[in-house]
Amino acid sequence: MTDNPEFERSTRAITAGRDSSGGSLSPVLWPSASFAVDSFAEARKRASTPRVTNFYGRFGNPGVQDFADAVGELEGAETALAFGSGMGAISTAVLALCSSGQHIVAQKQLFSSTTQLLRGACARFGIETTFVDGTNPEEWEAAVRPGETALLVVETPSNPLLELIDLERIAAIKGPIKLVDSTFGTPLATRALEIPGIDLVMHSATKALSGHNDATLGVLCGSEDLMMWIWGYHTMHGAVASPFDAWNALRGLRTLGVRVRQQTDSASAIAEELTAQDSVSRVYYPGLADHPQAELVKRQMDITAGILSFDLAGGQDAVELFMDALGLVQIATSLGGPETLVTHPTTTTHAVLSPEDREDLGIGDGLVRMSVGLEVTKDLLADIRQAFIVSAGSR
């Protein structure tokens, strides 16, 4: 088996999470919403067993737990818990770990539904959030209120401008629990839980972990103690993972290594190509040698992954012409899958923010986010080049 810690994470992904499969090489699907028992005593026992996987679907499911275990193994976590989506994982963690009167510190540039959760639901329940420039560790340190700040919410690399947060500096902050959304990097890029002081790593497994746009899932990885507490909340909150989605994700996870390597290779080539285009004013990709945080990229990311963003000098009109001229590359909002996708944050993922908030975050109307898929690099480059020619001609 490949569960030897000496092996690379991509190797371990191939057999991770097989506890319930009984020797079957493919994952086993357990669609049952409930489980029958032989006796009164057994029913009673299961009902009071924390994190039980064979009692009732909302409490746990064998295949869903296999999937969570696989991600937990890749993260080097004591344990992991799956959710019905990335937002299910984040909202459950935040509501389980914070009470009225407590305080959260988060970075300004976040997945926008996370921002909505903190600004909306949390504020309504009397949990205040201070938003900081995530790239400046001193702002994080200064925003923490001793005895009051319960949680730091960190996302690295961030959506959509791929900024890195220095996890060693975050980990050194004493007091609050530190939650890291590592969706963009995957466990192959960022080894967040290896840094003492980082408590929880979260993934939207809807993205690269499942990798095929056929599952909506979230995962939290961390200590047994924290997860036991969060599990109680997850069971009340009901943001639990579908067995079918977990089954798809466990199949997808097997190829995480080859997929992320291919996507990284293509993303690097595309970032270089974009840099050479006159109509592109800026490219955001951690793999570029002139990335403003190049030293941190080197220290904190083992591989720079397949997501990049870029500004078109012509603004939203130029984006519309460019996107409509793409053929192979598709317009859709997600990332980490086999198809190369583009999205316009201003009118889609970040449309809920005010224009002032977007400007403050550096999200301009000419920004395009691209999730690089598994197509052959040269075909992607050809499609992007022709789209620039066509869109320049139609202006």
Structure tokens at 159: 């959506």
Q: Among residues 218 and 306, whose Cβ is nearest to ligand PLP?
A: 218
**Contact code string over 102-141 relative to ligand PLP, x by CB under 6 A:** ---------x------------------------------
If binding means CB under 6 A, how many residues of this protein chain bind ligand PLP? 14
Closest separation in Å from C-beta 130 to ligand PLP: 20
Q: Which is nearer to ligand PLP, 57 or 337 (CB)?
A: 337
58-84 as b/e: b if 16+ CB within 10 A: ebbbbbbbbbbbbbbbbbbbebbbbbb
How far apart CA 340 and CA 98 sit, in angstroms, is 38
Binding mask 27-66 for ligand PLP (x = CB under 6 A): ----------------------------------------
For position 322 contacting ligand PLP by CB under 6 A, the verdict is no
Rank residues 53 and 204 by Cβ distance to ligand PLP and give the closer one: 204
Determine the distance from the C-alpha atom of residue 78 to the mean position of all C-alpha atoms in its chain, rounded to a whole number: 19
Q: Report if residue 157 touches ligand PLP, rule: CB under 6 A.
A: no
Q: Does 87 engage in binding with ligand PLP (CB under 6 A)? A: yes
Decide if residue 266 touches ligand PLP (CB under 6 A).
Answer: no
163 binds ligand PLP (CB under 6 A): no
Pair of tokens at residue 160: 């959509």
CB of 320 to ligand PLP, least distance (A): 24
Applying CB under 6 A, does 183 fall inside the site for ligand PLP?
Answer: yes
DSSP code of residue 193: G
- Strand order, beta sheet including 280-284: 280-284, 307-312, 367-371, 341-343, 330-331
Which residue, among 114, 105, 89, 161, has the nearest Cα to 137 in the 3D structure? 105
Nearer to ligand PLP, 86 or 187 (CB): 86
Residues with Cβ within 8 Å of residue 42, at least 6 apart in sequence: none
Burial of 113 (0-12, 13-18, 19+ CB in 10 A): middle
184 binds ligand PLP (CB under 6 A): yes
Does 371 engage in binding with ligand PLP (CB under 6 A)?
Answer: no
Specify the residue for token string 């994080």: 140
DSSP per position, 350-389: TTTS-HHHHHHHT--TTEEEEE--SS-HHHHHHHHHHHHH
Applying the rule CB under 6 A, the residues between 199 and 228 that interact with ligand PLP are 204, 206-207, 216, 218
C-beta separation of 132 from 140 below 8 A: yes
The two tokens of residue 313 are: 């000098």
CB of 395 to ligand PLP, least distance (A): 32
CB 209 within 8 A of CB 186: yes
With contacts defined by CB under 6 A, name the span among 101-109, 178-186, 291-299, 367-375 that binds ligand PLP. 178-186
Counting contacts by CB under 6 A, is residue 159 touching ligand PLP? yes
CB of 123 to ligand PLP, least distance (A): 19
- In the complex, the residues that contact ligand PLP under the rule CB under 6 A are 85-87, 111, 155, 159, 181, 183-184, 204, 206-207, 216, 218
